Amino acid sequence: METLSNKDIKLIRSLREKKFRDELGLFTVEGEKMVAEAKDSGLEIVMTVRRDEVGEAIMERISACSSPSPVLAVVRMPAPASHPASGLCLALDSVRDPGNMGTILRLADWFGVDCIFASPDSVEIYNPKVVQASMGAIFRKKLIYCDIAAKCAEFRAAGLEVLGTFLNGENIYKADLPAEGLIVMGNEANGISEAVSSACSRRLTIPSFGGGAESLNVSVAAAIVVSEFRRWK
């Protein structure tokens, strides 16, 4: 692309807002690696913009990053996914921070988590900060927005455990963990909601060995928990 019309610039800038991403079914990715991941994923690339073709000033106008990347792509969202109550999955109850969501996608990719479920009030997966923090995992992992309490019930009905992470619970380092099931992570400030708590079959905790910090960041906690599950696999 050698030129970029004002209409194109307006469209790309509008994708910083969720309402326009939802309306148009489009989102943006930035950086050579991320754009290459998008192309390899098989998703439709609607537009690719390169800094050396349009100039620094245009890239600064359209980029959602603090330092404009050399390349940006507009990508069409995939069709909504589905996943049965099977495998080792994560459930996110009101996880709001984009950095946490992106990091959780990345660790789910690393540890081979089968699917991620998120409550509707969790941060949107196509938020530019989530996309960038995922480091390409957004193109490899399924994330499905749904009623988490209902999803917990679905897993339990399938004979699988639903294991919530709490400040008080069974020591995860001493627990006998299943190879399959649903791991529930809670909101950054308030933890797992009451409705979802009551739907869990077991309560797990990561014990503190220092005693200074009140709690762990949710993405850090998710990494520790999933790692323990894989150790038992």
Give the pLDDT confidence of 130-160 residue by residue, as tens digits. Answer: 999 999 999 999 999 999 999 999 999 999 9
Query: What confidence category does residue 222 fall into, taking pLDDT thresholds of 50, 70 and 90?
Result: very high
State residue 112's pLDDT score.
Answer: 97
In the numeric block, the tokens 């941060």 are attached to 123
| Residues 111 and 230: beta-carbon distance below 8 Å | yes
Residue 127 carries which DSSP code?
A: S
For 136, counting Cβ atoms within 10 Å of its Cβ (0-12 exposed, 13-18 middle, 19+ buried), the class is: buried
> Average of pLDDT values for 7-14?
96
> Average of pLDDT values for 200-227?
90
Q: Which of 102, 75, 125 lies closest to 219 in space, CA to CA?
A: 102
CATH number assigned to the domain with residue range 88-231, chosen from the 4 options 3.90.1860.10, 3.10.20.90, 3.40.1280.10, 3.40.50.300: 3.40.1280.10
Q: Please name the amino acid found at residue 215.
A: S
Query: What confidence category does residue 2 fall into, taking pLDDT thresholds of 50, 70 and 90?
Result: low
Query: Would you kindly state where each structural domain of the chain is located, as residue ranges?
Result: 6-76, 88-231
State residue 200's pLDDT score.
Answer: 97
CATH number assigned to the domain with residue range 6-76, chosen from the 4 options 3.40.30.10, 3.40.50.150, 3.30.1330.30, 3.20.20.60: 3.30.1330.30
Residues 133, 156: Cα–Cα separation, whole Å: 32
Q: Look at the pTM and tell me if it is higher than 0.75.
A: yes
| Residues 141 and 195: beta-carbon distance below 8 Å | no
In the numeric block, the tokens 């946490």 are attached to 100
- What does pLDDT average to over the chain? 94
State residue 233's pLDDT score.
Answer: 62
SS3 225: helix
| Residue 212 clears pLDDT 70, i.e. is over it | no
DSSP string for residues in 140-182: TS-EEE--HHHHHHHHHHTT--EEEEEEEEEETTTS---SSEE
For 6, counting Cβ atoms within 10 Å of its Cβ (0-12 exposed, 13-18 middle, 19+ buried), the class is: exposed
Euclidean distance between the first and the last CA atom of the chain, given in angstroms as a whole number: 48
| Residue 9 clears pLDDT 70, i.e. is over it | yes
| Residue 206 clears pLDDT 60, i.e. is over it | yes
Query: What would the pLDDT profile of 55-65 be if each residue is shown by its tens digit?
Result: 999 999 999 98
Q: Please name the amino acid found at residue 147.
A: D
State residue 65's pLDDT score.
Answer: 87
| Residue 129 clears pLDDT 70, i.e. is over it | yes
Residue 41 carries which DSSP code?
A: T
For 52, counting Cβ atoms within 10 Å of its Cβ (0-12 exposed, 13-18 middle, 19+ buried), the class is: exposed
State residue 232's pLDDT score.
Answer: 62
Residues 140, 39: Cα–Cα separation, whole Å: 12
CA atoms within 13 A on the CB side of 13: 12
Q: Can you give the C-alpha Rg of the chain in angstroms?
A: 19
| Residues 86 and 114: beta-carbon distance below 8 Å | yes
Query: What confidence category does residue 66 fall into, taking pLDDT thresholds of 50, 70 and 90?
Result: confident
> Average of pLDDT values for 177-184?
97
